[in-house]
Amino acid sequence: MKILAIESSCDETAAAVVEDGTTVLSSIIHSQIAEHKQFGGVVPEIASRRHCENILDVVKRALAEGDCSLEKIDAIAVTYAPGLIGALLVGVNFAKGLSLASGLPLIPVHHIAGHIAANYIAHPTLEPPYLCLVASGGHSHIVEVLSYTKFKVIGRTRDDAAGECFDKVARVLGFPYPGGMHIDNASKIGYNLSYNLPSPKVTGSEFDFSFSGLKTAVINIVHNSEQKGIEIDKNGLAASFQKTVCDILVSKTISAANMLGYSKIALAGGVSANSGLRQAMEDACKSENKELYIPPVSLCGDNAAMIGCQGYYDFLAGKSATSDLNAIATLSLENM
Ligand code: KG4
Ligand code: ZN
């Protein structure tokens, strides 16, 4: 079964052709980062306008590179939630128009489920149930993946998402947007115990995260140093910050896996590209005797191949939409 998948939830216009869930025939990503960079973050209206301008070309390229005409496609999958509403609407309406004109079934896909599904492309032997740490620009979740289409979120951030925290800390350290990758690179040079940073405590749910206190601690160090005319060790601070975030993400995921009896752990989302997180999770899984699944860096960030993969499993589970499909800015993975 060949699925044409479309993703436009944030600042990447993406389309892909995916066969039987895991064979990626083409994956085209048009990134808007260069334009948003000058504003220090994604400007929602600009994102929507660029999706409008680029979506037709991106879809045409995905079909051409997948050596497919629309006649060879069996269904259209599209990200409908969560994300920037204006951005999502472009992909959703494009997919609805294409579905109406072609008669092909339309499959609405949850963006976070898509990030998790990137693991099936990279590791076709991976099967639910397993535990997944999802860390992206907008979400930090510990998720019980009960089946390909059923999820239970057992931990979430109370404030900033991990990626958001990386980006804000990067900004105060003078790195361009999106800063996660720059913190990652600086961490390879800096000493990760240069600064003593707090690991914020969260009361109530033991698997919830809180990153805003850590972010504020880094901002305070930078501002205090500026006021006193002391030069900060930028690489050391980046490395200390990254280590603190990774320690929190890894320790909560491992203790959740132990408590709930999961032997398989997966990573998903843009932050799972982080080399420190990948290494720390690998080390922890080795010592705790867990199997670890991580997507290649190319599938960690936003792409449409992961939407085609999840769309396949959603379709097999009987999920499809009609022409009244709408985009939803905030929607729990449990209610997709
Ligand atoms: O999943 P994603 O592409 O978009 C969302 O759905 O949010 O995640 C983007 C986030 C950004 O915050 C970006 O800084 C972060 O992923 N990111 C990284 C790395 N590469 C991307 N964070 C840390 N280290 C990286 N190497
Ligand atoms: Zn994403």
Res 95: pLDDT: 98
Ligand 1 site, residue 181, Cβ cutoff 6 A: yes
Residue to mutate, 168, 175, 271, ligand 1, most ligand atoms under 8 Å from C-beta = 271
166 lines ligand 1 (CB under 6 A): yes
Residue 14 has pLDDT above 90, yes or no: yes
Q: Looking at this protein, which amino acid is placed at residue 177?
A: Y
> 37: how many CB neighbours lie within 10 A of its CB?
13
| Rounded-to-integer distance, Cα 246 and Cα 273, Å | 12
- 55 Cα–ligand 1 center, Å: 22
Whether residue 48 has its Cβ less than 6 Å from ligand 1: no
Instruction: Of 181, 194, 188, 249, give the one whose Cα is nearest residue 221.
Output: 194
Q: Which residue type, as a one-letter code, is found at position 100?
A: L
- The answer to whether the peptide bond before residue 129 is cis (omega within 30 degrees of 0) is yes
What are the tens digits of pLDDT across the range 270-319? Answer: 999 999 999 999 999 999 999 999 999 999 999 999 999 999 999 999 99
114 lines ligand 1 (CB under 6 A): no
Closest residue to atom 7 of ligand 1, CA basis? 137
Pairing mode of beta strands 291-293, 106-110: unpaired
Tell me the CA–centroid distance for residue 67 and ligand 1, in Å: 31
What distance in angstroms lies between residue 302's CA and the mean position of ligand 2's atoms? 5
- pLDDT tens sequence across 132-165: 999 999 999 999 999 999 999 999 999 999 999 9
Q: Token pair of 65, please?
A: 């590179």
Unique residue bearing structure tokens 């920037």:
84
Reply yes or no on whether the pLDDT at 188 is more than 90: yes
Output the average pLDDT for the chain: 97
pTM, whole model, 2 decimals? 0.97
pLDDT computed for residue 91 by the predictor? 98
Q: Is the pLDDT of residue 66 over 90?
A: yes
What distance in angstroms lies between residue 135's CA and the mean position of ligand 1's atoms? 8
Does residue 23 sit in helix, strand or coil? strand
Coil, helix or strand for 102?
helix
Q: Has residue 200 got a pLDDT over 90? A: no
**Taking the mean position of all CA atoms in its chain, how far away is CA 217?**
25
Residue 179: DSSP 8-state: -
**Could you tell me the domains of the chain?**
2-115+300-335 (3.30.420.40), 128-294 (3.30.420.40)
Nearest CA to ligand 1 atom 8: 270
pLDDT, tens digit, for every residue of 85-134?
999 999 999 999 999 999 999 999 999 999 999 999 999 999 999 999 99
Q: Is 273 in the pocket of ligand 1 (CB under 6 A)?
A: yes
Centroid of ligand 1 to alpha carbon of 42 (angstroms): 13
pLDDT in tens, 240-275: 999 999 999 999 999 999 999 999 999 999 999 999
Q: pLDDT at position 293, please?
A: 98
Rounded Cα gap, residues 82 and 9, in angstroms: 7
Can you give the pLDDT at residue 201? 84
The order of strands in the sheet holding 23-31 is: 23-31, 12-19, 2-7, 75-81, 106-110
Count Cα atoms within 13 angstroms, Cβ side, for 118. Answer: 28
Residues 20-57: tens digit of each pLDDT:
999 999 999 999 999 999 999 999 999 999 999 999 99
Atom 2 in ligand 1: residue holding the nearest Cα: 270
- Atom index in ligand 1 nearest the CA of residue 301 equals 3
Q: Separation of 300 CA from ligand 2 center, angstroms?
A: 8
- CA 2/CA 203 separation, integer angstroms: 46
- Alpha-carbon separation of residue 60 from 6, 82, 89, 101, 143 (angstroms): 11, 25, 19, 15, 35
Name every residue whose Cβ is closer than 8 Å to that of residue 163 and which is 6 or more positions away in sequence. 135, 136, 137, 138, 140, 178, 180, 269, 270, 271
> How many A from CA of 167 to the centre of ligand 2?
14
